[in-house]
């Protein structure tokens, strides 16, 4: 569900919130007034929920004010909603518009100063609906939606949205209704005059030319207004840039998009296997994908050149940006999976619910079982505990796929940039874990992870050999818990820097021995892990399985395991903006699962 609905918002004649010097005016962006829609199932009322939970704040500080939802050039920008001014007042979404100094912006400012009405329409994307079938007409309530832009338009759909007025009896902003608008102290007699001047002004505000005006100038007020509405409705039906698109995707559309994503990712990364159903889209260029998405949404592409197809696919209500984003995510996921180092096998993976520091409690082993006496009495056992902690942080980057790249069918973002970013994310995690080992940080007991008092550091360095490995294994076997109990840590991994890779392979190699003395006891018992990011070229480590005893741990934000990408059609960038984000962290939970020999 990712389409943009365009709803007009009407303003009253009073615009006393207008500040001509600062070129600002307060407007109501959206209300919960139902708007009648029609789809293949018949009519329904759509309601935008106005609440902090429903309105996605992502773009609230970057909402442009456009001319009738047109966004193909900066000439169509009339101003913007000032950052930090969007708020909820009396169940309505309100913001402060600052008009530009363009000719169109100057005209709107003058119209407001003259007391003319201003209609506002909001473009938005709906992420979640609730449906109520109890009324005569079904009600679809948008319970999660994101405003993308606001526009100055001629025909309103919601009569409750309006330019706001300052209420002298209140410190805040009032929301007058059509039946209860503010009146001056000595109101002038109301007039119903609607002559040639008013007709001309209405026609000009709605961009109706002189020929249209002369043809309809003799009509009465009601007939003239109806002619304006009919003309604008006809234009909107013929406008392929912002058509009305149903906000609910059919299963067929969702399946087609998935197949297109699969084909696009496979074209960029040949190692991705493609299903038979997706082969229909295998050779598609960016333009082919854009054309398919537009036409599936009811937008004709007949007669459009490549650049026009890309522009409309990026800036209308089509799913083309989502298709590109999902394709990038697929390539990123595949590339990232290939970068994961062996070192992670010796560390425990966890998930963090938020960014606050996590304190992990380390419990002692359970007390030994004791014989129950003749009276059937059981004695109580206790656990001892200690805690280490760490927090995750966010790391990321933004890059762009330009409009030129899409038109030229340049797959560089998929074949070069995204895989490199995936490898960079994996490398970042590997270096992060290596640094936790090399830096030998201080634990909560005031001692380093590898310390003689912890029984996990060789008294003197020794070259990697069967004898030094035997001493390291014995030290782990003799590790004691928080209550001085033996915990019998069993080593599984031999971790060495790149410089010791060959020696490590030789030490762990299986040798055909003629005597007991020449048998290699570590053959097939230890797994070799090569970490190229370790600082010390001579030090080596033994580590137990993370499932046996907690030691080195890393974590992702819950629901965001690995790098995540977000995409949007760029406003400042002419194309698609892609943000890659990694929420990651780690630390030592305990020292007992690892042993270090400084080497020689």
Q: How confident is the model at residue 72 (pLDDT cuts 50, 70, 90)?
A: low
Q: How confident is the model at residue 599 (pLDDT cuts 50, 70, 90)?
A: very high
- Give the burial string for 353-364 (b: 16+ CB within 10 Å, else e): eeeeebebebeb
Report the alpha-carbon distance of residue 522 to residue 502 in Å, rounded.
16
Predicted confidence at residue 454, as pLDDT, reads 94
Question: Is pLDDT at 226 greater than 90 in this prediction?
Answer: no
Higher pLDDT, 229 or 386: 229
Predicted confidence at residue 237, as pLDDT, reads 46
pLDDT, tens only, 316-372: 666 888 888 888 888 888 888 776 678 989 999 988 888 888 776 554 444 455 666
pLDDT, tens only, 236-295: 544 433 333 333 444 555 678 889 889 888 887 888 888 888 888 988 988 999 888 888
pTM (two decimals): 0.50
Q: Where in the chain is the domain with CATH 3.90.1690.10?
A: 342-370+382-600
Predicted confidence at residue 294, as pLDDT, reads 86
Find residue 351's DSSP bridge partners: 556
Q: Which phi and psi (to 5°) does residue 184 adopt? A: -65, 165
Predicted confidence at residue 276, as pLDDT, reads 87
Predicted confidence at residue 3, as pLDDT, reads 36
Q: How confident is the model at residue 302 (pLDDT cuts 50, 70, 90)?
A: confident
Q: Which two tokens stand for residue 546?
A: 């993370």
Q: Which phi and psi (to 5°) does residue 62 adopt? A: -140, 30
Q: What is the CATH number of domain 342-370+382-600?
A: 3.90.1690.10
Predicted confidence at residue 542, as pLDDT, reads 96
pLDDT, tens only, 100-128: 998 888 888 888 888 887 888 888 888 88
Predicted confidence at residue 14, as pLDDT, reads 39
Summarize the confidence of residues 570-584 as an average pLDDT. 79
Summarize the confidence of residues 155-175 as an average pLDDT. 45
pLDDT, tens only, 167-193: 323 333 333 333 333 333 333 333 345
Q: Which of 563, 566, 579 is nearest to 428 (CA)?
A: 563
Report the alpha-carbon distance of residue 380 to residue 401 in Å, rounded.
66
Contact 23, 99 (CB under 8 A): yes
In the block, which residue shows the tokens 């994307």? 125
Predicted confidence at residue 159, as pLDDT, reads 56
Which of 57-71, 147-161, 463-477 shows the lowest per-residue confidence on average (mean pLDDT)?
Answer: 147-161
pLDDT, tens only, 457-512: 998 889 998 899 999 999 999 998 877 788 889 999 999 999 999 999 988 875 44
Predicted confidence at residue 162, as pLDDT, reads 54
Q: How confident is the model at residue 90 (pLDDT cuts 50, 70, 90)?
A: confident
Whole-number mean pLDDT of the chain?
78
Predicted confidence at residue 511, as pLDDT, reads 46
Question: Is pLDDT at 519 greater than 90 in this prediction?
Answer: no
Question: Is pLDDT at 406 greater than 50 in this prediction?
Answer: yes
Q: How confident is the model at residue 585 (pLDDT cuts 50, 70, 90)?
A: very high
Residue 580 parent element (H or E): strand 575-588
Predicted confidence at residue 223, as pLDDT, reads 79
How far is CA 85 from each of CA 29, 62, 80, 93, 98, rounded to the nearest angstrom? 12, 11, 11, 10, 11
Q: What percent of the chain has pLDDT over 70?
A: 76
Residue 151 parent element (H or E): strand 139-153
Predicted confidence at residue 183, as pLDDT, reads 38
Contact 429, 554 (CB under 8 A): yes
Considering 56-60, 80-84, 229-233, 292-296, the range whose residues carry the highest mean pLDDT is 80-84
């Amino acid at each position: 569900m990712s389409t943009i609905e365009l709803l007009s918002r009407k303003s009253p004649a009073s615009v006393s919130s207008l500040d001509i010097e600062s070129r600002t005016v307060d407007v109501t962006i959206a209300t919960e007034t139902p708007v009648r829609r029609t789809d293949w199932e018949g009519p329904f009322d759509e309601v935008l929920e106005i609440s902090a939970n429903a309105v996605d704040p992502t773009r609230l500080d970057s909402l442009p004010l456009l001319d009738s939802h047109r966004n193909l050039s900066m000439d169509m920008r009339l101003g913007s909603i000032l950052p930090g001014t969007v708020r909820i007042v009396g169940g309505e979404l309100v913001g402060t518009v600052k008009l530009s100094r363009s000719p169109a912006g100057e005209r709107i400012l003058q119209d407001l100063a003259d007391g003319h009405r201003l209609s506002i329409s909001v473009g938005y994307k709906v992420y979640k609906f609730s449906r109520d079938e109890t009324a005569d007409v079904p009600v679809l309530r948008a319970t999660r939606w994101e405003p993308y832009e606001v526009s100055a338009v001629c025909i309103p759909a919601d009569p409750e949205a309006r330019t706001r007025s300052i209420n002298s009896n209140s410190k805040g902003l009032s929301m007058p209704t059509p039946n209860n608008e503010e009146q001056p102290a000595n109101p002038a007699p109301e007039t119903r005059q609607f002559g040639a001047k008013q007709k001309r002004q209405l026609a000009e505000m709605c961009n109706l030319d002189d020929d249209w005006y002369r043809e309809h100038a003799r009509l009465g007020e009601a007939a003239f207004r109806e002619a304006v509405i009919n003309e604008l409705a006809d234009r909107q039906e013929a406008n392929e840039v912002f058509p009305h698109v149903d906000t609910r995707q059919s299963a067929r559309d969702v399946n087609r998009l998935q197949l297109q994503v699969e084909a696009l990712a496979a074209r960029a990364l040949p190692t991705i296997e493609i299903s038979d159903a997706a082969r229909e889209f295998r050779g598609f260029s960016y333009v082919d994908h854009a054309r398919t998405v537009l036409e599936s949404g009811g937008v004709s592409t007949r007669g459009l050149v490549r650049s026009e197809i890309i522009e409309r696919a990026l800036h209308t209500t089509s799913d083309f940006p989502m298709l590109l984003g999902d394709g990038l995510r697929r390539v990123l996921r595949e590339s990232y999976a290939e970068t994961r180092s062996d070192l992670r096998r010796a560390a425990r993976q966890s998930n963090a619910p938020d960014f606050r520091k996590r304190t992990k409690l380390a419990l002692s082993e359970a007390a030994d079982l004791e014989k129950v006496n003749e009276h059937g009495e059981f004695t109580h056992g206790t656990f001892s505990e200690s805690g280490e902690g760490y927090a995750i942080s966010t790391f990321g980057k933004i890059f762009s796929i330009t409009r030129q790249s899409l038109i030229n069918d340049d797959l560089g973002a998929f074949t070069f940039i995204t895989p490199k970013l995936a490898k960079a994310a994996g490398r970042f995690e590997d270096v992060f874990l290596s640094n936790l080992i090399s830096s030998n940080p201080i634990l909560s007991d005031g001692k380093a992870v590898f310390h003689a008092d912890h029984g996990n550091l060789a008294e003197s360095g020794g070259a990697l050999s069967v004898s030094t490995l035997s001493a390291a294994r014995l030290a782990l076997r003799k590790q004691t818990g928080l209550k001085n109990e033996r915990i019998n840590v069993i080593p599984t991994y031999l971790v060495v820097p790149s410089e010791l890779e060959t020696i490590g392979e030789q030490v762990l190699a299986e040798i055909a021995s003629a005597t007991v003395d020449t048998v290699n006891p570590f053959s097939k018992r230890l797994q070799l892990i090569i970490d190229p990011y370790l600082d010390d070229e001579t030090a080596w480590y033994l580590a137990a399985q993370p499932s046996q005893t907690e030691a080195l741990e890393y974590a992702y934000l819950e629901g965001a395991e690995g790098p995540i990408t977000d995409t949007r059609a760029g406003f400042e960038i002419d194309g698609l903006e892609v943000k890659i984000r990694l929420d990651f962290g780690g630390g030592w939970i305990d020292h007992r699962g690892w042993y270090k020999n400084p080497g020689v």
